[in-house]
Amino acid sequence: MWYPAGGMLIERATTADYVAIVDSLADYWGGRDMRAQHHAMFIHEFGDTALVLRDDDGGIAAYLFGFVAPTGVGYIHLVGVRADSRRDGLGRRLYGEFETLARRRGATALKAITAPTNHASIAFHRALGMSADEVADYSGTGHSRIVFSRQLSE
Ligand SMILES: CC(C)(COP(=O)(O)OP(=O)(O)OC[C@H]1O[C@@H](n2cnc3c(N)ncnc32)[C@H](O)[C@@H]1OP(=O)(O)O)[C@@H](O)C(=O)NCCC(=O)NCCS
Contact 30, 82 (CB under 8 A): no
Q: What average pLDDT score do residues 108-126 get?
A: 98
pTM for this prediction? 0.96
3-state secondary structure of 38: coil
Taking the CA of residue 103 as centre, how many other CA atoms within 13 Å lie in the half-sphere pointing to its CB?
11
Query: Which residues does ligand 1 sit against, CB inside 6 Å?
Result: 28-29, 78-81, 86-92, 114, 118, 120-121, 123-124, 127
Q: Residue 3 pLDDT > 60, yes or no?
A: no
pLDDT for the residue numbered 6? 54
Ligand 1: distance of its center to the CA of 50 in Å?
19
Round to whole Å and give the CA distance between 52 and 64.
7
Choice from 124, 125, 147, 148 to test ligand 1 binding pocket (greatest atom count within 8 A of CB): 124
Per DSSP bridges, beta strands 109-114 and 73-81 are parallel
Reported as a single tens digit per residue, the pLDDT across 123-133 is: 999 999 999 99
pLDDT of the residue at 1: 47
- The residues facing 54 across adjacent strands are 9, 60
The full set of domains in the chain, from first to last, is: 2-109 (3.40.630.30)
In the chain, % of residues over pLDDT 90: 90
